[in-house]
A and B are shown apart, each in its own frame.
Chain A
Amino acid sequence: MKPTTNDTGQTPAPAATKIHDELQALKDSILRIAVNFRELRSPLDQSRAAVPQATSQLDKVTQQTEQAAARVLDHAEKLSSQLAEMVTLLNVAINDYADRKLEGPGRAALEKAEELANISQNDAFTIIDALQFQDITSQQINSAASMLEEVEERLDVMLGFVDRGSGAQSAPAQREKSARKERAFDPHADMQVKHTGQSGVDDLVRATIKKS
């Protein structure tokens, strides 16, 4: 409201009016900024709330691939054990043929069966070895989840600014760090890409042993 007269009943000088107008404009600006801050809060809060949901989904992926890998391992180990037994039995039969100096399609079939059993056993081992992917992908997932948790922390900081800017009295509720899963991972874990391949590692080891 513009002052019309001062205490002595006189109209204020133009400079004072101007200062008053500018202060009023500044006050209006500050109020608008406070409103903007309050409007920012909701989307920031929603983004922050989405992070634990996202990390929980990622953790579920790791958990479920781990369970699936365990089931595959169960069967692959059983298979390789059964194939090993088959190879043993086939060897008994083949040796029996040999001892009795028997030839013919029967012996050839047994020898072929033994060969196939050995190949299948190696295939079972290959399946087992290939399941290493589950450890490596779970590290990649943990790396992604950790990045999301860093975003969550930054959003907490921004929410703090927003709350101060909007004049809120209480600090934003933050997810306790202790409530978060402890994550241990190599951020560079990869099935194919290596900074140093095994032969490079071997060179380093040899060089180190030589020095000592």
Chain B
Amino acid sequence: MSDLKILAVDDSPTMRRIIVNTLHRAGYNDIVEAENGKDALAKLETESVNFVITDWNMPEMDGLSFVTALRGSERHKKTPVLMVTTRSVKEDIVDALKVGVNNFIVKPFTPDTLKEKIDQILAG
């Protein structure tokens, strides 16, 4: 149905499963998972990911550092990134957008919101 290969990054196994389940319902079936920014960067070396959904607060490498590293790489400097996090302080949202996050969802999210934000990013 969709040729999108999505990398879902979250340190919570529960949240990763929920995101994957929600993506399946929205018609996205090619999904790779990572448990933190460092794991995500390693997965990006071997998987042809063309969309990233990431949490912010993660051990070893948080979402902000991960997106900064992503945007610093030639291969992924334009890969769409959707941040899904509990953080909702305005300054945090602005910081995330500054490092190159394309859109931002505050947890807990609804399936409709996740699909809507993916569609918005893909529509440019």
Residues of chain A whose beta carbon lies under 8 Å from any beta carbon of chain B: 66, 69-70, 73, 77, 125, 128-129, 131-136, 138-139, 182-186, 188-191, 194-198, 200-201, 204-205, 208
Contacts and interface: CB of A to CB of B under 8 A. Distances in A.
B27 interface: no
Given A186-B85, A201-B104, A129 B94 contact: no
Contacts, number: 103
- Per DSSP, chain A at the interface is helix
A186 B59 contact: no
B14 A196 contact: no
B60 interface: yes
14 contacts: A73-B18, A77-B21, A125-B25, A131-B18, A132-B15, A132-B108, A134-B12, A136-B107, A182-B60, A184-B59, A186-B57, A195-B89, A201-B88, A208-B97
A191 B85 contact: no
B106 A196 contact: yes
A64 to B, nearest CB: 12
Contacts of B87: 186, 188
Contacts of B105: 198, 201
Given A128-B21, A139-B57, A204-B94, A198 B13 contact: no
A62 to B, nearest CB: 10
B82 to A, nearest CB: 11
Contact of B88 (A73, A139, A195): A195
B110 interface: yes
B108 A204 contact: no
A186 B86 contact: yes
A129 B93 contact: no
Contacts of B89: 188, 195-196
Nearest to A72: B14
B88 A197 contact: yes
